[in-house]
């Protein structure tokens, strides 16, 4: 336990010093700042206004950029250390593979989750200071969704990192996964599939197993389910499932998915040659 | 202490270790030599438990370094040929080693001083920003402070100036009793005063093994 927390702590410290972390924090913090500067909270588009509108815009952009940020910054975690022989030295000490692997995951999770959640907290504080009413239900839903989303993509990234020998290949796979999942959100490929009259169940199933789609539908689910901006699959899902069940699913499913990928990644890490 | 039995390791179609058998016992200082690709590093990495062999096994004090890696590694110190680009600061690296491997931090400082490396002035500096020689000195200091029964050095003097090499040999002489010292080297003359056994490897096999 002591080694697990030590490795998490050291990974966190190392990540916070890295240039990618500064860029990562600036992107999410900058988004919120940009929304305030652009007067998003004062505008009214499609019925959203104030902090609700700001959080909705933030989450819509986060859906696209958070997974790729997590994937490209994390996917090299183990494969990069293997490439540069850091792993060879660090694992020559009596630290169990379990503690090393899971310690790295915990450290990296805190690194990727904190900036996105801090950006939202800053928005809430600034909004309250400006006298806006605070949409707590949306805030807590998004906190949970971001947690689940970070876990899902972190698990996938560590899974890739555990079996890929070169960090360049790891980056390529990460990018492919991001594009693939992005293509399967209903504003893109799923709409095309419906036009081609694919089996309805197949389309819904594909949407439901895609964490990015689940995240997108859940992010908008607290608003009016009749909204046209949601897309056909989101409309269908919210029409056929109660909102509470769907919200629980949208947090639980990516979380389980991330843990499963991380677990399989660990099994590969344990069974394969380490360097 | 170390028993290698019928060890074979393949990478794809390339056989890196071909049915290797050897034993390393207490009070032996071994120079492990051979051309590039002879299998020296693969043998070292197999002893450290990094590779899953295709055939045969390695036992360290009767323990398998893969299945019982924590217990086995408590007794092994390792210095790689090229210091890796660890991004942790010196202070954090020492924390990792002192907490994770229960190595006395003051002892690391002591051996670093003996190697003429001022650790306290560089505590907050990233390890990879140190010069090649400074990195190597720190890794040597850590290896000695760990008080292991088995010390493995892969070309340990590659980055050291003549004075630092003398310091290194002096410290090794003081710490060699009851240990296995395993040097991977291309230059026998550098370690010939320290070793009492020379092993040559070629194409994944041990081709000669002589006591000196």
Q: Does B209 touch chain A (CB under 8 A)?
A: no
> Per-residue pLDDT for A47 more than 60?
no
CB-based contact B101 A10, cutoff 8 Å: no
ipTM of the complex: 0.95
**Terminus-to-terminus CA distance in chain A, angstroms?**
25
- Which residues fall within 8 angstroms of residue B13, CB to CB, at 6 or more apart? none
Mutation site, A11, A12, A88, interface B, largest B CB count within 10 A? A88
- State whether B70 and A95 contact (CB < 8 Å): yes
CB contact (8 A) between residue B80 and residue A91: no
Stretch A118-123: mean pLDDT: 91
Is residue A13 exposed (0-12), middle (13-18) or buried (19+ Cβ within 10 Å)? middle
DSSP secondary structure, B71-111, as one string:
HHHTTEEEE-SS-----SBHHHHHHHHHHHS---HHHHHHH
Q: Using one digit for the tens of pLDDT, what is the confidence trace for A124-166? A: 998 888 887 888 888 999 999 999 999 999 999 999 999 887 8
A203 compared with B210, residue with greater pLDDT:
B210
Q: What is the pLDDT of residue A190?
A: 66
- In angstroms, what separates the C-alpha of A177 from chain B's closest C-alpha? 28
- The more confidently predicted of residues A236 and A164 is A164
Q: Which residues of A164-175 are buried (b: 16+ CB within 10 A; e: fewer)?
A: beebeebbebbe
Minimal Cα distance from A272: which residue of B?
Answer: B52
The separation between CA B110 and the C-alpha centre of its own chain, rounded to angstroms, equals: 20
The pLDDT mean for chain A works out to 86
- B48–chain A nearest CA distance, Å: 7
Q: How confident is the model at residue A44 (pLDDT cuts 50, 70, 90)?
A: low
**Chain A residues within 8 angstroms (CB to CB) of chain B:** 2-3, 6-7, 10, 13-14, 17-18, 84-86, 88-97, 271-275
Determine the pLDDT at residue A188: 65
Helices (H) and strands (E) in chain B, counts: 7, 9
The pLDDT tens digits for A65-95 are 999 999 988 988 888 888 889 999 999 999 9
Which of B83, B66, B41, B50 has the alpha carbon at shortest distance from B183?
Answer: B41
Contact residues on chain A for B63, CB-CB shorter than 8 A? none
Residues of B in contact with A91 (CB under 8 A): 48, 50
Domain boundaries in chain B?
2-211
Which run of H or E residues covers position B21? strand B14-24
**A229 has a pLDDT exceeding 60:** no
Chain A residue with the nearest C-alpha to that of B72: A94
Contact state of B50 with A88 under an 8 Å Cβ cutoff: yes
Of the residues A93, A270, A274, the best mutation for testing chain B's interface (the one with the most B CB atoms within 10 Å of its CB) is: A93
Rounded to whole angstroms, the Cα distance separating B23 from B4 reads: 6
| Domain B2-211 class, CATH top level | alpha beta
Nearest chain A alpha carbon to B51: A273
**CA end-to-end distance (rounded Å), chain B:** 20
Q: What is the pLDDT of residue A86?
A: 94
Residue A264: predicted pLDDT:
97
Is A85's CB within 8 Å of B73's CB? Answer: no
Residue B192 is predicted with a pLDDT of: 83
Q: Does residue A200 surpass a pLDDT of 80?
A: no
Q: Identify the pLDDT of residue A226.
A: 60
Residue A193 has pLDDT above 80, yes or no: no
In angstroms, rounded to a whole number, what is the distance separating the alpha carbons of residues B51 and A91?
12
Number of CB pairs, chain A paired with chain B, less than 8 A apart = 78
* Residue contact B100–A94, C-beta within 8 A: yes
A111-120, A132-141, A221-230, B140-149 — which is least confidently predicted?
A221-230
**Integer CA distances (angstroms), A53 to A98, A139, A199, A211, in order:** 43, 12, 35, 23
Q: Which residue has the higher pLDDT, B32 or A185?
A: B32
Residues of chain A found within 8 Å of residue B77, distances taken between Cβ atoms: 92
The pLDDT score that the predictor gives to residue A73 is 87
The answer to whether residue A260 scores a pLDDT higher than 80 is yes
Contact B70 A96 (CB under 8 A): yes
Per-residue pLDDT of chain B (212 residues; tens, 9 = 90+): 899 999 999 999 999 999 999 999 999 999 999 999 899 999 999 999 999 999 999 999 999 999 999 999 999 999 998 899 999 999 999 999 999 999 999 999 999 999 999 999 999 999 999 999 999 999 999 999 999 999 999 988 878 888 999 999 999 988 888 899 999 988 888 788 889 999 999 999 999 999 98
pLDDT: is A266 or A137 the higher one?
A266
Give the model's confidence band at A237: pLDDT under 50 very low, under 70 low, under 90 confident, else very high.
confident
Are A152 and A74 a contacting pair, CB within 8 Å? no
B205-211 and B197-202 strand pairing: antiparallel
The DSSP output letter for A134 is P
Q: What is the largest CA-CA distance in chain B?
A: 49
pLDDT for A32: 87
């Amino acid at each position: 336990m002591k080694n697990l927390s030590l490795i998490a702590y050291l990974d966190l410290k190392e990540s916070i010093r890295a240039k990618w972390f500064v860029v990562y924090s600036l992107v999410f913090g900058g988004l919120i700042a940009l929304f305030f500067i652009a007067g998003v909270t004062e505008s009214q588009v499609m019925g959203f206004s104030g902090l609700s509108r700001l959080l909705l815009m933030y989450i819509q952009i986060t859906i696209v950029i958070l997974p790729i940020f997590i994937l490209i910054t994390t996917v090299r975690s183990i494969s990069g250390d293997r490439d540069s022989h850091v792993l060879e030295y660090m694992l020559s000490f009596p630290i169990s593979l379990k503690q090393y692997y899971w310690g790295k995951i915990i450290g990296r999770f805190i690194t990727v989750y904190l900036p996105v959640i801090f950006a939202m907290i800053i928005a809430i504080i600034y909004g309250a200071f400006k006298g806006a009413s605070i949409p707590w239900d949306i805030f807590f839903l998004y906190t949970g969704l971001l947690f689940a989303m970070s876990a899902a993509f972190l698990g996938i990234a560590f899974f890739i990192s555990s079996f890929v020998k070169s960090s360049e290949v790891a980056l390529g796979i990460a990018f492919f996964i991001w594009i693939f999942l992005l293509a399967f959100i209903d504003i893109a490929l799923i709409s095309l599939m419906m036009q081609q009259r694919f089996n309805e169940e197949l389309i819904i199933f594909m949407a439901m197993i895609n964490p990015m789609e689940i995240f997108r539908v859940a992010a908008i689910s607290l608003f009016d389910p009749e909204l046209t901006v949601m897309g056909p699959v989101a409309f269908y899902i919210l029409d056929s499932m109660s909102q509470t069940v769907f919200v629980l699913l949208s947090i639980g499913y990516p979380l389980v998915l991330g843990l499963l990928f991380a677990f399989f990644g660990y099994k590969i890490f344990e069974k394969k040659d380490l360097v | 202490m170390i028993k290698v039995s019928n060890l074979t390791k393949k990478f794809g179609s390339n056989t890196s270790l071909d049915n290797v058998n050897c034993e390393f016992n207490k009070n032996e200082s071994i120079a492990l030599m051979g051309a590039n690709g002879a299998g020296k590093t693969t043998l070292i990495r197999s002893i450290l438990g990094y590779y899953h062999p295709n055939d045969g096994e390695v036992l360290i004090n009767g323990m398998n370094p893969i299945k019982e890696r924590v217990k086995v590694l408590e007794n092994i110190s390792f210095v790689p040929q090229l210091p890796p680009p660890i991004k942790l600061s010196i202070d954090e690296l020492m924390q990792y080693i002192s907490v994770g491997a229960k190595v006395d931090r003051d002892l690391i400082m002591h051996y670093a001083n003996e190697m003429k490396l001022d650790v306290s002035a560089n505590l907050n500096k990233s390890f990879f920003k140190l010069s090649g020689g400074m990195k190597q000195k720190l890794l040597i200091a850590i290896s000695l402070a760990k008080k292991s029964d088995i010390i493995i050095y892969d070309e340990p003097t590659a980055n050291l100036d003549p004075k630092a090499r003398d310091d290194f040999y002096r410290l090794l002489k003081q710490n060699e009793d009851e240990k296995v010292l395993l040097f991977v080297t291309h230059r026998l003359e550098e370690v010939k005063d320290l070793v009492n056994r020379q092993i040559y490897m070629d194409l994944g096999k041990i081709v000669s093994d002589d006591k000196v």
